[in-house]
Structure 1
Amino acid sequence: MDRKHIIWKHISEHRFPYVFGFALLSISCAMQLVIPMLLGTFTDQLERSELTYEHALTIAMWMALAGLGVAILRSSSRIYLFRLSRLLDMRIRNDLFKHWETLSTQYFKNRRVGDLMSHAISDVSVIREVTQSGVFQTMEAGVLISITVVTMATSIDPLLTLFTLLPLPLLSVLAYRFRQRIQKESANVQEAIGDLTSRVQEFVAGIRVVKAFVQEREQNQLFRKDNEHAVSMNRKLVRSNSMFGALSAAVVGISFLVSVVLGGIMVLRGRITLGDFVAFNSYLSLLMGPIENLGKVVNTMQRGKASENRLLAILNTRPDVADDSAADRSITAIAGDIEIRNLSFRYPEAHEATLSDISLNVPKGSSLAIVGRVGSGKSTLVHLLVRLYNPPKGTVFIDGRDIHEIPLQVLRANVGIVPQDQFLFSTTIKDNIGFDPKPYRDEEIEQAAKVAQVYDNIIEFPNQFQTALGERGISLSGGQRQRVSIARAIIKKPSILIFDDSLSAVDTETEDRILSGLNGVMEERTTIIIGHRISSVQAADQIVVLDEGAIVERGTHESLLERNGLYADLYHKQLLDEAVELHKHEWESEQPEQGEVRSATSGGKAG
């Protein structure tokens, strides 16, 4: 789609269908002129007492035929032209969604879901309205006004036509004066709709937190505030539209007044006949509808311009992460040998570096574990490995090639990542595990679920793998979502496996089973594990400890414990926490039930 124009690009590409629709509409407009002409003839014959039953019947028949022809042709042209607007509607949404898929995560990080939904629904609907009613009414007004004015001037009286139409150019002045005002207020309405949609989306996503903290009243007040703001913005737009419509109607009323006064004088002086007067006012009545519609078209066009600008701002946004001239299209697969050289990285909105002077070497088929405190840069490092953000050139290499040389599609197709948020789609469990362009057999999906230790949970559901999940997989527990995410990553059989704190929501027993099942999967695959639990990372070939974006320790589990540094502190703290939790559990299990305490107490008193 043209990145400068949307509406006119569409009309230009479909110019021949639009010409055909315009031809149908032009014939319809021409046929409308037959009725005023027949009314004038009828009036003149009636005034001269020349009207016979046969003449009246003939005139009525021709008027009926003209009306039927106008109805058929006008409806056909509307259907034809409106169908073209629906094609644009579908095309914009497809292009918009496709373009969103190319944009980087940074773009979505800085925008609300409600605003994006407003673009895809409300703005696109306004654009459709422009190419639907706007184009149709503009065509109709242009044709009908032109042929009607010519007919009025040539068949009745040019002077009467001139004076009657003299006030109408004021409509252009009004349209110009209201243009920027309506465009600005229309943009405000769209933004208010985005705020309202974001509020609803946020409420639905956080409904459990809202109820847990008894925030229903506060959320209702916030929604009411956004709702009132949206209503206020719409009222301003309606007020401007109404004012423009009222002033336009006043201008049209002046034209009618001139027609009645001046036309009446001409009839009395014998310059035109009574039939001409009736026909002239009938012609003028035909003009009033299209002329008033021009005012609506101006409003629609200005709203469309505001929406088009908003959509173009998206479509003209270039992705921060994309294949550039350095990409080598001959690369179709990667083996998994990773090298990082003096990597430093800062997020666009951050003032300080998130990672500083990171150097690593992860040979193909080996495993790397990354541990550290919250905010130390662990997830950032793996995000750079799959280019969710762009690392500086010359810092990250895979198979000896700069990561910028590897096409994005190839890179991400050969990396299986289990992210922290364990996002699942609101489809079946089977579709979530097999979320890949490549189709998978049921046996492969079941095997991946078994390795991820979620198979037994799935078969307990009534529909098993065909169980439909709620939004974001809300119908599963946190641990089940994590394990489905693990199954989704390993079924790809990628060259590089990345687990970003993927076992935090499962108990230690399940964690041991998952790690045991992953041993076979991790063979001959480069594996990176980010974890807070030392138990999930201690078997890695090498372990690095991040602190404030820098590597402060590296080695194996045993060597790091011997250093007695940050890794050892984390390890001993976790051992202490586990011991306290175990002691608490044993103490609770030894306590008698409340009923048993009562029985013992009652027994003692009775004795």
Structure 2
Amino acid sequence: MNIFGKLMWFFRQNKRLYIVGLFFLFLTEISQMVSPALIGRFTDQVVSRTLTVENLVFYAGGIFLFALLMYVFRYAWITHIFQGSALLEKTLRQQLFDHYMKMDTTFYQRHRTGDLMAHATNDLSAIQRVASGGILMLVDSVVVIIFTVISMVIVVDWRLTLIGVLPLPLLVLGVRYLSPKMRQAFTSAQEAFSRLSNKSQESIAGVKAIKTLGQEMADVAVFESQVKDTIQINKRVALIDSLFGPMATVIMTISFVIMMTYGGSLVLNDQITIGQLVSFSTYLGLLVWPMFGLGQLFNVLERGNASYIRVQNILSEKSAIIEDEEGVVEQAKGDLNININQFTYPDGDPTKPALHNVEITVKAGETLGIVGRVGAGKTTLIKLLLRQFDGYTGDIRVGDVNIKAYTFNAYLKSIGYVAQENFLFSTTVRDNIRFSDINKNQRDVMLAAKKADFNEDVWSLPDGYDTEVGEQGVSLSGGQKQRLAIARALITDPEILILDDALSAVDALTEKHILGTLKSERREKTTIIAAHRISSVMNADEIIVFDHGEIKERGTHASLIARNGWYAEMYHQQQLATELEDKLSGKGVSDV
């Protein structure tokens, strides 16, 4: 019953729905009590041969009338109570989705996608059943038992009623014994479902890699193993759950045996009539559903309680990225000043910071290039600029305002970001490009595509800008995905454009064209380019060379070449590699 207390906030918010629904449920149970009394009196008149046509019509009409009333009342409570349960599912689903949208990167590192999907599907369905079937079975069972017992006492005999319901407390003892075991079993079942959901999501998302590496059979074996584990856990749930039905059957059988023996003796001693015994038997039959209903009730409640705890545990987690809701609402613009004394990832080694002693100033309209070895700190710096992590000492300012002092809407909308691997939605090319502002027209979309050197590629697609790109852009090449993502970032004309190795999949000529366009189009706005290819940053106003989270070299392309350090070494290596590729390409052509 603890789950009802946890959901009381919702019942209070929607008390009208539930009050009206329970009122009609109450009327349904009252109507249900009348028919057995009419049947008993009808039986007595048949036995005593005093039944008249008028009485026959009265009893038959009465039974029909109350059956019709039960139909109307039942329709009314079903529409109200199940409407409330649907509203609960909608409310929790919205809360959960909003929570997912607000959480930080660390949250998604701790929780797998399949697990989060299980919370939003299976767990919410279990909670929703509490507010529909749970309410129904609780009120229906309790009201039917109370009204039936009262009717037995009034219509039949209090002694027979007392002895007939004497076995019912055994059900309470059985429920108290099985409930904790059921709660534990349901929790394990929900966790197993989460693991299976995550495995399914991971295998479907990685099906290309699985097939490429020839691991289909191995992956299927792992999946089958998890399915078997889930089945075993659910078998335990079914085992415990199945004990409620037989227990209720045994208890009701005992009650019927008592009724037959003791009730029969009362009829033989003329203390009750045969009609009263028939009424008592009918009333006792009405108790069969509540007995089974109570078993199903605890099934629903324990499953819902386990799911509610899991959902609340997720909702209780707090993001480490806190928005200043009363912060600056004007769009961030101006010079970018970065002063980071030290930053360590939440799960990192404090003695080995990811960034330290980083000081950079980028004036509005300038381009900053960032290079360095893999893991040197390039992407880490970008994550701090995007406010994916805030736990650093120092500050980052745009227009002399700390980025933490902006509202999310004001700051993040001033940034256009393109990663090396970009997520594309299963919609058209047009809607993917204008995703950040769906109100942009076709002219704006095409202009952004032209800046990204993507317009001609689009017209070569089957339906042009109406072409569906498929899940995660499966119908596009790597270079096309990157250029689409660049167009998506450029369509809002951001104050700060960040390209994180976003040109790695395009050829040198396309790269040169895109960078040239950005330089001419963004004269008054800041551009940050992090790359492995020196050609991507060589025309930047300043180039930063990272190594182990520190700035080891900085300057223009010419000054860094003259310094003859890591930057110059990498530039010469890449130049040699390019020349070798050109020679091999030329040799291949001549041979043909």
TM-score range, shorter chain: over 0.9
Q: Which moved more, 1:372-381 or 1:247-256?
A: 247-256
How far did residue 4 of structure 1 move?
Answer: 12
How far did residue 346 of structure 1 move?
Answer: 0.9
SS at 1:538's partner residue? coil
How far did residue 54 of structure 1 move?
Answer: 4.1
How far did residue 166 of structure 1 move?
Answer: 1.6
Tell me how far apart the structure 2 counterparts of residues 573 and 22 of structure 1 sit (CA, whole Å): 79
What whole-Å deviation, never above 9, does each CA across 1:509-560 have from its counterpart, x for those lacking one? Answer: 1111111111223211111100111001000011111111111111111111
Report the AA paired with residue 322 of structure 1: I
**1:343 maps to 2:341:** yes
- The answer to whether the Cα contact below 8 Å between 1:156 and 1:272 also exists between their aligned partners in 2 is yes
Partner residue of 1:549? 549
Partner residue of 1:322? 322
What whole-Å deviation, never above 9, does each CA across 1:432-485 have from its counterpart, x for those lacking one? Answer: 111124621211110000010110010112221111121111111110010011
Tell me how far apart the structure 2 counterparts of residues 445 and 90 of structure 1 sit (CA, whole Å): 35
Tell me how far apart the structure 1 counterparts of residues 5 and 256 of structure 2 sit (CA, whole Å): 39
- The answer to whether the Cα contact below 8 Å between 1:7 and 1:127 also exists between their aligned partners in 2 is no
Partner residue of 1:30? 30
SS at 2:337's partner residue? strand
The alignment's C-alpha RMSD in Å is 1.7
Partner residue of 1:596? none
What whole-Å deviation, never above 9, does each CA across 1:85-133 have from its counterpart, x for those lacking one? Answer: 1111122112211111111122112221111111111111111111111
Tell me how far apart the structure 2 counterparts of residues 515 and 208 of structure 1 sit (CA, whole Å): 32
SS at 2:317's partner residue? coil
How far did residue 572 of structure 1 move?
Answer: 1.4
Tell me how far apart the structure 2 counterparts of residues 87 and 468 of structure 1 sit (CA, whole Å): 34
How far did residue 72 of structure 1 move?
Answer: 2.5
How far did residue 345 of structure 1 move?
Answer: 0.9
Q: Which moved more, 1:137-146 or 1:484-493?
A: 137-146
Q: How many correspondences in the alignment? A: 588
Report the AA paired with residue 244 of structure 1: F
Partner residue of 1:332? 330
How far did residue 569 of structure 1 move?
Answer: 1.5
The 5 A counterparts of 1:205-216 are 205-216=205-216
What whole-Å deviation, never above 9, does each CA across 1:46-89 have from its counterpart, x for those lacking one? Answer: 22122234433432222122222212321321122111111111
What whole-Å deviation, never above 9, does each CA across 1:297-325 have from its counterpart, x for those lacking one? Answer: 1110010001101111122111111214x
Partner residue of 1:307? 307
SS at 2:194's partner residue? helix
- The answer to whether the Cα contact below 8 Å between 1:393 and 1:402 also exists between their aligned partners in 2 is no
Q: Which moved more, 1:137-146 or 1:122-131?
A: 137-146
SS at 1:394's partner residue? strand
What whole-Å deviation, never above 9, does each CA across 1:246-268 have from its counterpart, x for those lacking one? Answer: 22222222222222222112112
Tell me how far apart the structure 1 counterparts of residues 229 and 108 of structure 2 sit (CA, whole Å): 25
Partner residue of 1:598? none
- The answer to whether the Cα contact below 8 Å between 1:322 and 1:408 also exists between their aligned partners in 2 is no
Report the AA paired with residue 269 of structure 2: R
- The answer to whether the Cα contact below 8 Å between 1:168 and 1:251 also exists between their aligned partners in 2 is yes
Partner residue of 1:106? 106
Report the AA paired with residue 383 of structure 1: K
SS at 2:546's partner residue? strand
Partner residue of 1:568? 568
The 5 A counterparts of 1:194-593 are 194-324=194-324, 329-351=327-349, 352-392=352-392, 394-437=394-437, 439-592=439-592
- The answer to whether the Cα contact below 8 Å between 1:38 and 1:63 also exists between their aligned partners in 2 is yes
Tell me how far apart the structure 2 counterparts of residues 575 and 305 of structure 1 sit (CA, whole Å): 64
What whole-Å deviation, never above 9, does each CA across 1:307-353 have from its counterpart, x for those lacking one? Answer: 101111122111111214xx653441222311122431111111131
Report the AA paired with residue 256 of structure 1: F
Tell me how far apart the structure 1 counterparts of residues 248 and 587 of structure 2 sit (CA, whole Å): 84
SS at 1:397's partner residue? strand
What whole-Å deviation, never above 9, does each CA across 1:160-209 have from its counterpart, x for those lacking one? Answer: 11121121122222222121211121122222222222222112211211
Partner residue of 1:604? none
Report the AA paired with residue 546 of structure 1: F
Distance 1:391 1:525, change over 3 A: farther
- The answer to whether the Cα contact below 8 Å between 1:342 and 1:357 also exists between their aligned partners in 2 is yes
How far did residue 581 of structure 1 move?
Answer: 1.7
Partner residue of 1:190? 190
Tell me how far apart the structure 1 counterparts of residues 471 and 233 of structure 2 sit (CA, whole Å): 32
SS at 1:483's partner residue? helix
SS at 2:243's partner residue? helix
Tell me how far apart the structure 2 counterparts of residues 174 and 585 of structure 1 sit (CA, whole Å): 81
Tell me how far apart the structure 1 counterparts of residues 518 and 114 of structure 2 sit (CA, whole Å): 39
- The answer to whether the Cα contact below 8 Å between 2:37 and 2:155 also exists between their aligned partners in 1 is no
How far did residue 6 of structure 1 move?
Answer: 5.8
SS at 2:287's partner residue? helix
Tell me how far apart the structure 1 counterparts of residues 444 and 35 of structure 2 sit (CA, whole Å): 74
Tell me how far apart the structure 2 counterparts of residues 190 and 234 of structure 1 sit (CA, whole Å): 9
How far did residue 14 of structure 1 move?
Answer: 1.2
Tell me how far apart the structure 2 counterparts of residues 103 and 429 of structure 1 sit (CA, whole Å): 28
Report the AA paired with residue 337 of structure 1: D
- The answer to whether the Cα contact below 8 Å between 1:170 and 1:251 also exists between their aligned partners in 2 is yes
Tell me how far apart the structure 2 counterparts of residues 500 and 391 of structure 1 sit (CA, whole Å): 21
Q: Percent identity?
A: 36
SS at 2:394's partner residue? coil
Report the AA paired with residue 12 of structure 1: R
Unaligned runs of 5+ in 2: none
Partner residue of 1:47? 47
Distance 1:214 1:114, change over 3 A: same
Report the AA paired with residue 548 of structure 1: H
- The answer to whether the Cα contact below 8 Å between 2:342 and 2:393 also exists between their aligned partners in 1 is no
TM-score by length of 2: 0.96
Distance 1:160 1:107, change over 3 A: same
Tell me how far apart the structure 2 counterparts of residues 434 and 223 of structure 1 sit (CA, whole Å): 38
- The answer to whether the Cα contact below 8 Å between 1:364 and 1:524 also exists between their aligned partners in 2 is yes
Tell me how far apart the structure 2 counterparts of residues 552 and 225 of structure 1 sit (CA, whole Å): 50
- The answer to whether the Cα contact below 8 Å between 2:341 and 2:393 also exists between their aligned partners in 1 is no
SS at 1:33's partner residue? helix
Tell me how far apart the structure 1 counterparts of residues 394 and 406 of structure 2 sit (CA, whole Å): 13
Report the AA paired with residue 388 of structure 2: L
Report the AA paired with residue 340 of structure 1: I
Q: Which moved more, 1:582-591 or 1:159-168?
A: 582-591
Tell me how far apart the structure 2 counterparts of residues 284 and 382 of structure 1 sit (CA, whole Å): 72
